[in-house]
Structure 1
Amino acid sequence: MESTRTVTFDFYGTLVQWHEGVEACFRDIVRRHGQPAKNLGPLIHAFHGEGRRLRDTPPWRPYRDVLRESLRFALKDGGMAMANADVDGLITGLSRLPAHGDVPAALAALRAGGWRLAAISNTDDDLIAGSLPSLGLDLDAVITAQQARAYKPDLRLFRYAHDVLGVTPQQTVHVAASQPLDMAVCKALGIRAYWVNRRAETMDPQWLPFTEVRDVAEAAVSILR
């Protein structure tokens, strides 16, 4: 198989149901604390915001630590004290996320079309492992922030991934749901990119050029065309 026929994917939100998983975890947490689960938005917003700050602030730390400290921050912001059960529930829930419904068939079609498939993810090796079976096939490579000691949008994670895969940025296609984390890197490195807009977000022209698609299935059709 030609090494230049390589598609890399963001994992959380692109291939597996990250946002749905986070919401389910927070629903369980606030229920455990005896709080209403009607409006999880502020808690989840604080969780994601603190996660970005921790990922972007040296020194590098494992994603498991980022999740724990982000949860602590969000719960404190919401007037709750984090318990061990909260952390355990979050880690367990985010360690076994199901694939989006369109993903297994799309990956299978790309594999049948002769493309290598790899994930580039802001996570730890053990955290991503439990969600991989839901993809329906084994990826050719799973490259994590833990391996590179760098989180997106740090270019070092992608450069490490390309070294592992034996390709240049221009020999790959990247498919991802995040504009500031993934499309930004693709613009900087000259990678052909597909932005998966599952959540009806607003396109930010500063990260162009990329092709906007509704899901991974639509990206796969375009790549195979």
Structure 2
Amino acid sequence: MRAMRWVTFDCFGTLIDWRHGIRTSAELIAPGQGERLLEAYNRHEHLVQAESPAMRYRDVLAETLRRACEEEKVELRADDAAVLAETLPYWPVFPEVGAELSALRAAGWRLALLTNCDLDLIAGTRRRLPVPFDAVVTAEDAGAYKPAHAHFELFRSSYEPEVWVHAAQSYFHDMEPAQRLGVPHVWINRHDQRPADASIVPHTQPDLRGLLATVETAASG
């Protein structure tokens, strides 16, 4: 019988265009400031998550946006702080995702999400994903945010994968913990970043195109 084979994915940044979502949502409340607020948001989110691992993700989004606006001297009305959580279910899927996930499923791989999100928010996003997922582990389930190991450990204990490859865009949130835990992994380096340690990411590609072949290689290595 074929081994139970899983590919786990981060969602936002890997399957969903997270930068587009943050930038365009910020434009709704501060026209012309979306790019600045996106970059400031990136500097603060992991700090908020590390400070408050049990904080719900919609509150992480709001608190991080507050800090980004404060840093960039952009006025943020109290009732506008929820804009990211409100728009998140509408953030776009990267165009190649449907075909590549379909190819994985056709080849017998099961699919799962390991996401720094909550159950209610990811439910809205899953409606936009073009292929069904067999499992989801959220920050709400894990009680922590990646790069903590809780997502990976909970997935492993819950599903006991015989073959497992993790694919994600974030070197910090996903590649480093996958390496530490001995999980074969593929870096979806959408922003052509330079890794701090290239040996951590031997399997790298700029997007999901051709992912099946890379996953098969990573699994066999």
TM-score under structure 2 length normalisation: 0.90
Looking at structure 1, the residues matched to 118 and 199 of structure 2 have their Cα atoms a distance apart, in angstroms, of 27
Query: 38, 43, 51: which one pairs with 1:49?
Result: 43
Residue number in structure 2 paired with 1:144: 138
Letter in 2 for 1:67: L
CA distance in 2, matches of 1:75, 1:3: 49
How far has the Cα of 1:210 moved from its partner? 3.2
Distance in 2, Cα, partners of 1:80 & 1:204: 32
CA deviation after TM superposition for structure 1 residue 166, in Å: 2.1
Picking from 132, 152, 168, the partner of 1:176 is 168
- Match in the other structure for 1:89: 83
Residues 15 and 3 of structure 1: CA distance in aligned 2, closer, same or farther (over 3 Å): farther
Q: Aligned partners of 1:54, 1:177: CA distance in 2, in Å?
A: 20
Range with bigger deviation, 80-89 or 44-53 = 80-89
| Long gaps (5+) in structure 1 | 32-36
Q: CA deviation at 1:142?
A: 1.2
Equivalent in the alignment of 1:79: 73
Change in Cα spacing, 1:156 to 1:3, as seen in structure 2 (3 Å) is: farther
Deviation at 1:207, TM superposition (A): 6.1
Change (3 A) 1:198 1:206: closer
Task: Tell me, in whole angstroms, the C-alpha distance in 2 between the residues paired with 1:59 and 1:214.
Answer: 30
How has the CA–CA distance of structure 1 residues 207 and 52 changed in structure 2, closer, same or farther, with 3 Å as cutoff? Answer: farther
| Equivalent-residue separation in structure 2 for 1:91 and 1:59 (angstroms) | 18
Partner-residue secondary structure (3-state), 2:204? strand
Contact 2:100–2:208 (8 Å) recurs in 1 = yes
How far 1:209 moved relative to its partner? 4.0
2:112 counterpart residue number: 118
Corresponding residue for 1:34?
A: none
Asked whether the 8 Å contact 1:11–1:121 carries over to 2, the reply is: yes
Q: 1:215 aligns with which of 207, 212, 221?
A: 207
What is the distance in 2 between the residues matched to 1:217 and 1:144? 25
Q: In 2 relative to 1, CA 148–41 (structure 1 residues): closer, same or farther, beyond 3 Å?
A: same
Report % sequence identity. 33
Kindly state the Cα deviation for residue 93 of structure 1 after the two structures are TM-superposed.
Answer: 1.5
Residue aligning to 1:25: 25
Q: In the superposition, relative to structure 1, how do residues 108 and 157 fare at CA in structure 2: closer, same or farther (>3 Å)?
A: same
Name the amino acid aligned to 1:117. L
Return the TM-score normalized by structure 1.
Answer: 0.88
Kept in 2, the 8 Å contact 1:124–1:145? The answer is yes
Rounded to whole Å, the distance in 2 between the matches of 1:59 and 1:104 is: 32
C-alpha root-mean-square deviation of aligned residues, in Å?
Answer: 2.0
Question: Residue 72 of structure 1 contacts residue 81 of structure 1 at CA under 8 Å; is this kept in 2?
Answer: no
Say how many residue pairs are matched. Answer: 217
Q: Which amino acid aligns with 1:18?
A: W
Structure 1 pair 175/60, CA: closer, same or farther in 2 (3 Å)? same
